[in-house]
Structure formats: C-alpha cells, structure tokens
C-alpha cells in the first residue's frame, strides 16, 4: 500500500434480482437487479463518504454502481476480477435442470467436485487475491466496491481466516455492506472488519 494512513474499503452486494433466484446457479449469467431495490440501495449511499467507486462488470452490479456514482459525481471503475464465480455448464440453470446425481455429488463435496467448464474454488480464490491487491493499491483512501455474494464470502474467508465449512454458516443478503479498515504495517496490511450494515431491502 502506498499510503501510511488507514484505508477504508466498503464492499456491498448488489440489490436483489428481478427474478426469484431460488435454486439458480447465478454466476456470470446476466440477470437484471430489481429496479426499485436498486434505487433504494443507491439512495442509501447519498450520505456515505467515499472518493472512488469500483464495480464488477456484471449488469446487476454496474446498474447500482452507476446510480451511486451519479449521486457523487464520480466515474465507475470496472474491475473484472470482482465478478461472481463462473459456474460453467451449470451457470444460469435451476437445480431441477441438473442431473440429480451430479447435483448431490456437488452438495456432498462442494469444494472438490468439478462442475464441467466451471471455475474451481481455488481458481476463484486466486482471482480474488488479485482483486484484493488491486483494491489495497488503489490510490483512494475511502473506496466503495460493488460486487457479489460469492465474492464477499471468499474475501471474508481470506481476510478473517475462516474454514471452507464456515462459508456456508453466515448469510449475506442483497445490499449488505461490509466495512473494512486496512492499516499498513512493516510486513503486510492489517485488516479489520469494523461493521456489517444490513440493507433491509
């Protein structure tokens, strides 16, 4: 990190989807966010302090980011590595459309089962390590990032040292905000989760 001052990074999940996501593997598939939910969430940032805005390139994040940026007179910076997991041949499918034996095999061992053409969890972790480094080295001292639920989970795992099993033990609703404070040290940045803000959408 270039600055010696503490840096604040606010991570927010996009607004709820315009369709019911129950049973869907929603990764790189482009699904629109609910316009009312997006506007409500965007409005909640009018009094939030930040001086740069970074977003996943997927539409459900970009729509929110653009509305927030308009309130602040900022430009949206797109970071491809903040995208949701690529579920390969399952991406955009409902569980009813997937072979039951394959689906059960995934549920039995989600971190090792190989979904055809999908990004593995380890590949996603490596990608998010790159994204996190980009955020840490961003010149802004107060940064807002619009991203996805899976991204938030894996970032929290890496920052807080959580086990794989723990990833499924906390809920991150649409619009939730995770506020992190990053303090430089002689070895590596010290990261604290200082606040979790529910969106109540």
Task: Give the CA radius of gyration of the chain.
Answer: 17
Rounded distance, CA 200 to CA 158, Å?
26
Interior/surface letters 134-159, b for 16+ CB within 10 angstroms, e for the rest: bbbebebeebbbbbbbbbbbbbbbeb
Q: Determine contact, residues 167/153, Cβ cutoff 8 Å.
A: yes
Q: Which CATH class is domain 7-197?
A: alpha beta
Question: What is the pLDDT, as a whole number, of residue 2?
Answer: 52
Q: What is the pTM for the complete model shown?
A: 0.91
Task: Report domain extents, the chain.
Answer: 7-197
Low-confidence ranges of the chain (pLDDT < 50): 1
């Amino acid at each position: 990190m270039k600055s010696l001052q503490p840096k604040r990074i606010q991570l927010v999940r996009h607004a709820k989807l315009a369709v019911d996501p129950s049973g869907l593997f929603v990764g790189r598939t482009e699904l629109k966010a609910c316009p009312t939910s997006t506007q409500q969430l965007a409005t909640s940032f009018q009094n939030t302090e930040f001086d740069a805005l970074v977003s996943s390139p997927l539409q459900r994040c970009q729509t929110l980011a653009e509305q927030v940026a308009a309130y602040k007179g900022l430009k949206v910076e797109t970071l491809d590595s903040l995208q949701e997991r690529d579920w390969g041949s399952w991406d955009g499918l409902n569980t009813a459309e997937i072979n039951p034996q394959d689906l059960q095999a995934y549920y039995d061992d989600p971190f090792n089962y190989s979904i055809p053409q999908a990004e593995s969890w380890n590949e996603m972790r490596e990608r998010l390590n790159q994204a996190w480094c980009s955020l840490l080295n961003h010149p802004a001292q107060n940064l807002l990032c619009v991203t996805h639920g899976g991204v938030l989970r894996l970032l929290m795992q890496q920052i807080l040292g959580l086990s794989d099993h723990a990833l499924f033990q906390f809920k991150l609703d649409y619009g939730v905000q995770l506020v992190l404070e990053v303090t430089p040290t002689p070895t590596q940045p010290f990261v604290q989760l200082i606040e979790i803000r529910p969106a109540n959408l």
